[in-house]
Amino acid sequence: MGLQKIHQRGVIHGDLHPRNILLAFPGIDSVSVEELYQKYVPPTRTEIRRLDGAPLGPGVPSHSVVPVWLGSFCEEVSDPRITISDFGEAWLNNDPSPREELHTPPIYLPPETTFAKDSISFPADIWTLACTIHEIMGERPLFECFFGDRDDVISETISTLGLLPEDWWKMWEARGEYFLEDGTWRTDMKRRRAPRSMPLSERIELMGRKDEPDFSAEEAESYERMLRAMFQYYPEKRATAKEVAKSDWMTRWGVPSLQAYDIQIPCDLS
C-alpha cells in the first residue's frame, strides 16, 4: 500500500527489497543519542582497509558500523512504524531518459532487466515487492541462489514460475547450460543445482507456515494467486500496486493483520 502511494505520485522506486523496508522501534524518536547509547551500546566502528594496502577509492567509506541489537525480535514489537526507504535509484515515470538497468540485488531483479530493458517501469517494483512479501512471509528469498549469477537466478525463476515466454527463451544465451531445447532440465548440467523444478505452490508449502493454525489452505491459495499476478513475466501483464492492494489475500488477511497492530493504512482501498 505504501508502494501504491509512491506509484500514484508517478515515482518508480527501482530498488525495493527487504533491506530497504525499515521497521521503526516504538518511542525511539523521543530518545536522545546519549540516552540511546546508555540504554543499548555505542556503535562499534570497524576500519575498512584494502588487502593490498593501497588507499581506498573516493566512493569507499573509511569504516563500517556493526548493527545494534535493540533487544526485541520484530514479532515482539508492538505499534511498529513501517517505512519504505532508499530512493537513491528512484525516478519519475515521465523522465525523458528511460532506465535500462536496476541496481537491485540479483535475486530480486525482474526479468525485463535482462530481456526487455526498454520496458523497465512501475511493474518492476511489483516484481520486487512480490519477492519482498514472500521473503517476509517465508523468512527466506524465493529465488534463492548461493553465490549464483544472473543466469542462476533466471533458472531458479523458471523452476518456480515455469518456462519463459518463447521470445525471451530464445534470447537467453545460457539456457543450454540448464535445459534441453524442449524445456526439460539437463541431467548432466555443470551448474550447482538439482535438475528439477520446485513450483511456487510447493515453495509456499515449504516456507515454514503450513503448520501454523492461522495459515489455512484457503489463505495459501489466495496468497499464491496474488503472487502469480505479481510475477507475470511480461511487465504489462503484471498486477498494478492498486490491484495488489485490492487483492483477495491483501483485503482478507494482509490488511487485517496490520490493523491488529493498529498500523495506519496509508491508501484508500475502497
Q: Which of 82-91, 194-203, 235-244, 261-270 has the lowest mean pLDDT?
A: 261-270
Q: Residue 199: is its pLDDT beyond 90?
A: yes
Q: Within a 13 Å sphere around the CA of 160, how many CA atoms are in the beta-carbon half? A: 25
Instruction: Specify the pairing of strand 81-84 against strand 45-47.
Output: unpaired
CA distance 236 to 66: 41
251 vs 267 pLDDT, higher one: 251
At 262, is the pLDDT very low, low, confident or very high (cuts 50, 70, 90)? low
Cβ-Cβ contacts under 8 Å for 128 (sequence gap 6 or more)? 13, 15, 16, 17, 104, 108, 109, 110
The percent of residues above 70 in pLDDT, for the chain, comes to 89
269 phi and psi, to 5 degrees?
A: -95, 5
Q: Which of 61-75, 103-117, 119-133, 235-249 has the lowest mean pLDDT?
A: 61-75
127 vs 258 pLDDT, higher one: 127
Q: Residue 23: is its pLDDT beyond 50?
A: yes
Report the pLDDT value the prediction gives residue 213, as an integer from 0 to 100.
Answer: 57
For 240, the grid coordinates are 498494478
Q: 3-state secondary structure string, the chain?
A: CHHHHHHHCCEECCCCCHHHEEEECCCHHHCCHHHHHHHCCCCCEEECCCCCCCCCCCCCCCEEECCCCCCCCHHHCCCCEEEECCCCCCEECCCCCCCCCCCCCHHHCCCHHHHCHHHCCHHHHHHHHHHHHHHHHHCCCCCCCCCCCHHHHHHHHHHHHCCCCHHHHHHCHHHHHCECCCCCECCCCCCCCCCCCCCHHHHHHCCCCCCCCCCCHHHHHHHHHHHHHHCCCCHHHCCCHHHHHCCHHHHHHHHHHHHCCCCCCCCCCC
Give 212-251 pLDDT, tens digit per residue: 656 788 999 999 999 999 999 999 999 999 999 999 999 9
Give 96-109 pLDDT, tens digit per residue: 887 888 999 999 99
Length of the chain: 270
Q: Residue 268: is its pLDDT beyond 80?
A: no
Rg of the chain over Cα atoms, rounded to whole angstroms, equals: 21
81 phi and psi, to 5 degrees?
A: -120, 120
Q: Residue 270: is its pLDDT beyond 50?
A: no
- How much is the mean pLDDT over the chain? 87
